[in-house]
């Protein structure tokens, strides 16, 4: 009798365990193997498309390595949208990515106008926005979910102004594109010049679609500035056209300074010999420590990258985001946000850096100055 009771007890326990197991299985959420989808917004058409293409290709390269490593349980897929380097199109793209595609992370924008337009949308929807090239100072306070691994215009504007002041320039003309990047640099530089006794005798602004500057340059020439600061924001064409037209107008005694766009290969080709002697600010020479990435880019896409910074910064950003996803075990934006703020120094193509309390790049000195000699940009030491 006792043996029979024992067998019945064992069977009862087995039945209970089976029932509990069925209950747990029926109420547990299956582990998804579907890819995690994230968004991308950058100019894929228009004057700044060359830079947007570099960022897109950087994402493709990074994901080839990440998804093929086997380290992530779920692959990452990217939905690419054209922000066209303007706020309206970027906002439309972001709305589509968030409301239709249901992404929790957007890589973008490239242009500051894109990022500033997307920021309030991503913030209200608690979606991570990660820019790799936008430099407007306004992005610093654009939202708690906004991050960038690009320096602010404040850094480059101050660096350029200080460099020109140390060169002993006492009066200067500035010609700037009506774009967020250029206007941020313009504001910082004007303030620095004013505080250091440098007279801004001309302060010209042009729209992004302008390709002839003879009227503005003739006006500037009449004021006889010692130097001019050329400040484009979206198109490398402009960076070559202005020095070329200055030479045609006989402004050969006016020293030329400018931002990084003047070192673009397209600008150098268009400007030709007029580019020689120009001094411009640029990022540190990322090719020195990242030749393998550049070589891979050339092999895979059969061309040189238009600019090394968006290539390296966007490449890094994909690894940072996938590290965050891996740590959180999901694309939950609140968890990823906290991960990024608490992230210890990341070592990548840009070097070693992390984010400050505003989501800005921290612990990285990037600004250098170069001079164009015989069509080649040479570092000023």
How much is the pTM?
0.74
* Each residue's pLDDT tens digit, 322-369: 999 999 999 999 999 999 999 999 999 998 999 999 999 986 566 789
pLDDT at 69: 72
* Each residue's pLDDT tens digit, 60-79: 999 999 997 766 678 999 99
Domains 36-151+288-364 and 154-285+368-379 share a fold: yes
pLDDT at 285: 74
Asked if pLDDT for residue 33 goes beyond 80, the answer is no
Which of the four pLDDT bands, split at 50, 70 and 90, describes residue 32?
A: low
* Each residue's pLDDT tens digit, 258-310: 998 999 889 999 999 999 999 998 877 787 779 999 999 999 999 999 889 99
pLDDT at 19: 56
pLDDT at 86: 93
> Over the chain, what HEC string results?
CHHHHHHHHHHHHHHHHHHHHHHHHHHCCCCCCCCEEEEEEECCCCCCHHHHHHHHHHHHHHHHHHHCCCCCCCCEEEEEEECCCCHHHHHHHHHHHHHCCCCCEEEECCCHHHHHHHHHHHHHCCCEEEECCCCCHHHHHCCCCEEECCCCHHHHHHHHHHHHHHCCCCEEEEEEECCHHHHHHHHHHHHHHHHCCCEEEEEEEECCCCCCCHHHHHHHHHCCCCEEEEECCCCHHHHHHHHHHHHHCCCCCCEEEECHHHHCHHHHHHHHHHHCCCEEEEECCCCCCCHHHHHHHHHHHCCCCCCHHHHHHHHHHHHHHHHHHHHHCCCCHHHHHHHHHHCCCEEECCEEEEECCCCCEECCCCEEEEEEECCEEEECC
- Domain 154-285+368-379 classification at class level: alpha beta
Domain spans, the chain: 36-151+288-364, 154-285+368-379
Asked if pLDDT for residue 181 goes beyond 90, the answer is no
Query: Which CATH code is given to the segment(s) 36-151+288-364?
Result: 3.40.50.2300
| Mean pLDDT, residues 192-201 taken together | 96
């Amino acid at each position: 009798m006792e043996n029979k009771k024992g067998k019945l007890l064992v069977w009862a326990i087995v039945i209970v365990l089976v029932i509990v197991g069925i209950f747990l299985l029926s109420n547990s959420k299956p582990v998804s193997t579907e890819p995690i989808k994230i968004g991308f917004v950058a100019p894929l058409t228009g004057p700044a498309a060359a830079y947007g293409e570099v960022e897109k290709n950087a994402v493709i390269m990074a994901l080839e390595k990440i998804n093929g490593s086997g380290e992530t349980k779920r692959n990452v897929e990217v939905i690419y949208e054209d922000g066209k380097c303007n706020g309206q199109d970027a906002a439309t793209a972001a709305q589509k990515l968030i409301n239709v595609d249901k992404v929790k992370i957007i890589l973008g924008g490239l242009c500051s106008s894109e990022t500033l337009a997307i920021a309030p949308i991503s913030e209200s929807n608690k979606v991570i926005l990660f820019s790799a090239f936008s430099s407007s100072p306004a992005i610093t306070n654009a939202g708690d979910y906004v991050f960038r691994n690009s320096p602010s215009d404040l850094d480059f504007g101050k660096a350029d102004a200080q460099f020109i002041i140390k060169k002993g320039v006492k009066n200067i003309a500035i010609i700037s594109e009506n774009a967020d990047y250029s206007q941020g640099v313009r504001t910082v530089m004007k303030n620095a010049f004013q505080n250091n006794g440098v007279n801004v005798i001309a302060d010209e602004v042009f729209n992004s679609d302008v390709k002839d500057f003879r009227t503005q340059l003739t006006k500037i020439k009449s004021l006889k500035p010692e130097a001019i600061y050329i400040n484009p924001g979206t198109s490398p064409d402009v960076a070559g056209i202005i020095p070329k037209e200055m030479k045609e107008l006989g402004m050969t005694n006016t020293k030329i300074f400018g931002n990084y766009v003047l070192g673009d290969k397209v600008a150098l080709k268009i400007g030709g010999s007029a580019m020689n002697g120009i001094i411009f600010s640029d990022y540190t020479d990322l090719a020195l420590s990242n030749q393998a990435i550049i070589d891979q880019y050339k092999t895979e896409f059969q061309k040189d990258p238009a600019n090394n910074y968006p290539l390296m910064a966007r490449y890094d950003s994909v690894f940072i985001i996938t590290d965050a996803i891996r740590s959180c075990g999901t694309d939950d934006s609140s968890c990823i946000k906290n991960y990024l703020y608490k992230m210890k120094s990341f070592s990548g193509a840009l070097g070693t850096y992390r984010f400050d309390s505003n989501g800005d790049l921290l612990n990285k000195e990037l600004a250098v100055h170069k001079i164009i000699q015989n069509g080649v940009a040479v570092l000023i030491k």
